[in-house]
Structure 1
């Protein structure tokens, strides 16, 4: 059971939740008010939704032995373009206008993902460099769209995407559930998942077996772009504004951490969507914990990095084996001598 890829992520998440419960006894309390559920657990799911979406897309990219550093910029671009389109409408509450703005933004996110995939497959640029280009340029594009200002919208229809509720739960949770279900069905109930793992693990053998690796890589980068675009819609609609400078900042790093914590290797190959989901929840729970215990803002990132490092070390089978070996040699020197002479 300890060797199961979900054991340590689930254990770490449980420890974090237990710490919060000890620190704040009402941490698990959930209240129903005005037809909506409120509580720390609901907030973790709600505020963690954009990160979960980005991490889902990142999982498939990493499974092909790639990386996408541009997801944070895509989040900013999508939110900025949507808010700009809605703000220029005569009636911001018009459903047609809201759907049109979201459709244009999501289409753009697909194009941006296609651009990344094109640089990787057709041009042959390493994924970390290819996506770094859009990571830098995309943030500038988002600020050009917003003209360096924060665009505010007053559309209640658009606000529903990130701040609305359905069946007493935040609507963003249902969006995440739908995207996760689609990704799981496509990768576990069809041959697509096998193609992705094959391309990431043995690209040459995959090509010789007739798998169109370029098409697979293009598809995962486009899907990652869509996930980042939906995350951008949720983030901007939740606050009814778009900030091209700060929206989605460092999301790419949190998404990569979530994928690694979930058990997916950066070397490509086998991937775990459920593990990524738990990894993203760990990061969001950790963020909530840091704010709750009052860690000074200037050292928040340091504390977060330290905890994530500990989580990764705990997960590492090599680290645990070496630690156990050192403990045995320190506490049982006689056995070590016998083994050496034998």
Structure 2
């Protein structure tokens, strides 16, 4: 058992696992009913699972999808994209525009959902390409480059639908953010698994992960080895745009409408925290995708726990910041080194007492 623990300490995924265990124990001690899962019936009359754990899986899936793209952006560019929430609004608005056509409240869909989704993918990838161009070509710091869409994105989303709030009355559209009839598990969980599978295959059978880490560690050296750092950085932002489009579909499907100022609000901060909690260096370089994905669910676990204990929504960010800062500080190499040194000093004392 000691050997397993020792090996785990050296892994990036150790910190999110510890955080998950601590949150799980806290809820178990304070209120064991937190883990209660029941079978209910939704508005469509289909049996669905409900409970706090299902909520974590459901909404955590959105964050996990974004964490995939954010991890690549962080690793390649050494910075973060803060325009994610605004771009989700743009992608969701584009989907509704295509589905509604010229009528903001159509009785039937004016186009297939797959067509609307593909158009949204192009729009979100274009936003990612814009950010990537500023970062890769003009060497603008990522957070500054993405501040443009962070500021203007939601206005662009409103402009796409002429400042109207479109509403989809077609019940089948709600499947992507709700439940597939006959399957009690939320659809976003399956969408997340598909995204993780595709990402895993891409990282295993292509050089995407290797090139991304090489550029993030040292762009000049990677250039001397035949890589194109600018293109790798640009590609990472485009991939994040694709992840954003998927989340945009889930978001607008949940309500069959959109609120430009509220949709995906502050989700970019949660995505960045997920990457940090996964032990990935925010300055770029080596990354662990599995740790980032687990970090996303830990963040959602924390959010759901805070909601469960009636914490004011306005104070959520402060609570999450305190917890995550503590975890990230504990995972820092300097702090780990000090803890290791302290442990070595205590061992001889323990032997002497024995």
Q: TM-score, normalised by structure 2?
A: 0.86
Partner of 2:83: 70
> 1:157–1:119: structure 2 CA closer, same or farther, 3 Å change rule?
same
Listed as ranges, the matches of 1:266-305 within 5 Å are 266-305=282-321
Post-superposition Cα deviations, 1:248-280, rounded to whole Å, max 9, x if no partner, equal 211111111100100111121111111011111
Q: Offset of 1:95 from its aligned partner? A: 8.3
Q: Offset of 1:149 from its aligned partner? A: 4.8
- Asked if 1:44 corresponds to 2:56, the answer is yes
- Asked if 1:27 corresponds to 2:34, the answer is yes
Give the distance between the partners of 1:164 and 1:138, measured in 2 at CA: 29
Post-superposition Cα deviations, 1:95-150, rounded to whole Å, max 9, x if no partner, equal 84322222211111111111111122223322222111121121221132344454
Aligned-pair Cα RMSD in Å: 2.4
Count of paired positions? 332
Listed as ranges, the matches of 1:94-243 within 5 Å are 94=109, 96-165=111-180, 167-243=183-259
Structure 1: which 5+ residue stretches go unaligned? 332-342
Higher alpha-carbon deviation: 111-120 or 19-28: 19-28
Higher alpha-carbon deviation: 242-251 or 80-89: 80-89
Give the distance between the partners of 1:40 and 1:9, measured in 2 at CA: 19
Q: TM-score, normalised by structure 1?
A: 0.89
Q: Offset of 1:292 from its aligned partner? A: 0.6
Give the distance between the partners of 1:103 and 1:93, measured in 2 at CA: 19
Q: Offset of 1:233 from its aligned partner? A: 1.1
> 1:219–1:241: structure 2 CA closer, same or farther, 3 Å change rule?
same
Partner of 1:309: 325
Post-superposition Cα deviations, 1:35-67, rounded to whole Å, max 9, x if no partner, equal 322222111010122211111100001110232
Native 8 Å contact 1:201 1:269 kept in 2: yes
Higher alpha-carbon deviation: 308-317 or 141-150: 141-150
Post-superposition Cα deviations, 1:132-177, rounded to whole Å, max 9, x if no partner, equal 1121121221132344454322122221111123743111111111
SS in 2 for 1:163: coil
> 1:192–1:327: structure 2 CA closer, same or farther, 3 Å change rule?
closer
Structure 2: which 5+ residue stretches go unaligned? 1-6, 41-45, 347-354
Native 8 Å contact 1:199 1:213 kept in 2: yes
Native 8 Å contact 2:252 2:258 kept in 1: yes
